[in-house]
Amino acid sequence: MMTAIRKHFAAAAAAAALLLGLSGCGPDYATEETRLVNYRLDRVEEGRGRGAILMIPIHGVISSDDGGAPAAIAMLRQLRTRGEPSGIKAIILHVDSPGGGVTASDTLANEVRLCRDKGYKVVAFFSDTAASGAYYASAGADRIVARPTGIVGSIGVIMMHFDAQKLLTERLGVRDESVVSGPFKGAPTVFRPMTPEERAYLQNIVDSLHARFVKTVVDGRRMKEADVRKVADGRVFTAEQALAAGLIDAIGQREEAIAEARKLAGADCPVFFYRREPGLLERLIDGQVRAGSGPVPDEARTLLKLALDARPLYLWRP
């Protein structure tokens, strides 16, 4: 009997490992040690010069374990630590994101800085939205180009929290019976409104992370702190407003961003882009989803998870 059970579990484990390998998911999506799975390098722009430009997408909500941020971090890290792909002279960050987690945004920004320290030139191209953590991650680029219709900025921090006391306690009869070691251990909680002391405690954390955001922009954009503070109240700006405020360097389309990268690279380099190809299991699941009503979109799930964690976020939430 025990032998049969062991065989059953061994078969289940092998099947799970096979499915993870086919889907391109699993442990490869941990922020610090992400490996590029199911990605192919494509040439998207021809060039006659020596060397190449690598375009890296920063798309969707920036999270440590979901969306495109772990892959973007892996691309930057692979380039600076292993020199892969070889011959790269400049990087284009293709940004379309409302921001997201503080740590994931900071990790991205740090990888950009380390790549510049290794001698790679960096151009950030803001396609549609480059807000909050997405702007934070891009602020250290050599040049920033935004589309004329782009939305830029939202320099600020938000810690989302919900007071569900009436729903949970009064309507459902659910009460918080947590045992804590100190008055701030369980704060904040959805079971009651915050006390003034708890709000001040969390505000101090938000203010500290906001100061880090401001310093990142000051250092990256080489601006005066007073000038950054004027636009660091969470607002977003049009491309023209961002240009006037010094948050970007130019307004243009993708072609202008590539031209800037080629200028920094010193050659008419071809442009390469990592294109993700879904694994077999993903394609099968996607076919089933499209045939039916469909679950909650991935980005909505990521946002919901970030919101329920009550963590500080570099996120624009219109």
Residue pair 55/89 in contact (Cβ under 8 Å)? The answer is no
pLDDT at 291 over 90: no
Residues with Cβ < 8 Å from 153, sequence gap 6 or more? Answer: 131, 135, 231, 235, 236, 237, 242, 247
Per-residue tokens: 78: 């692979």
Q: Which of 185, 208, 224, 293 is catalytic?
A: 185
Q: What pLDDT does 223 receive?
A: 96
- Residue 166 annotated as catalytic: no
pLDDT at 234 over 80: yes
Q: Which of 23, 64, 127, 132 is catalytic?
A: 132
Query: ∠ at Cα 254 (44, 266), nearest 5°?
Result: 75
Q: What pLDDT does 296 receive?
A: 52
Mean pLDDT, rounded, for 273-290:
64
- Residue 132 annotated as catalytic: yes
User: Which CATH code fits 37-158+232-281+296-315?
Assistant: 3.90.226.10
The model's pLDDT over 149-173, given as tens digits with 9 standing for 90+, comes to: 999 999 999 877 766 666 777 777 7
Mean pLDDT, rounded, for 184-195:
74
Rounded to two decimals, the pTM is 0.79
